[in-house]
Amino acid sequence: MKKKDRGSTSSAALAEGITVLRWKNNNLVALCCSYAGYPPADVVERWSSSEKKKLGVERPFLVKEYNKCMGVVDLLDSLTSHYRNDFRK
């Protein structure tokens, strides 16, 4: 999978209703989910440094849902670093 082009995917559905997905963006991304899977996929633009232009890359629905929630996690980490508490007291 490492030698495949950007946007390539491989997925498997387990008997328990869990989808396991690997997607190649800059690096390999591995995700597991019980409510979302590969379809429907959309196309996002990514910069190609070798071709010096933006290219359309297919992105699975599961990756889109994951990215939507990551902003909240980054915000929480940022606020935690600003308002650090000593929990050992």
Is 34 part of a structural domain of the chain? yes
Task: Encode the chain (89 residues) as per-residue pLDDT tens digits.
Answer: 777 777 788 888 887 888 888 888 878 888 888 887 767 888 988 888 888 999 888 888 888 888 887 777 777 778 777 776 666 65
Is 3 part of a structural domain of the chain? no
Q: Say what the pLDDT of residue 89 is.
A: 57
Distance of CA 84 to the CA centre of its chain: 29
Q: In total, how many domains does the chain have? A: 1
Q: Say what the pLDDT of residue 54 is.
A: 92
Is 4 part of a structural domain of the chain? no
Is 75 part of a structural domain of the chain? yes
Q: Say what the pLDDT of residue 52 is.
A: 92
CB 42 within 8 Å of CB 25 = no
Is 71 part of a structural domain of the chain? yes
Give me the domain span that covers residue 69: 9-82
Structure tokens at 65: 């849902």
> What phi and psi values does residue 63 have, to the nearest 5 degrees?
-70, -40
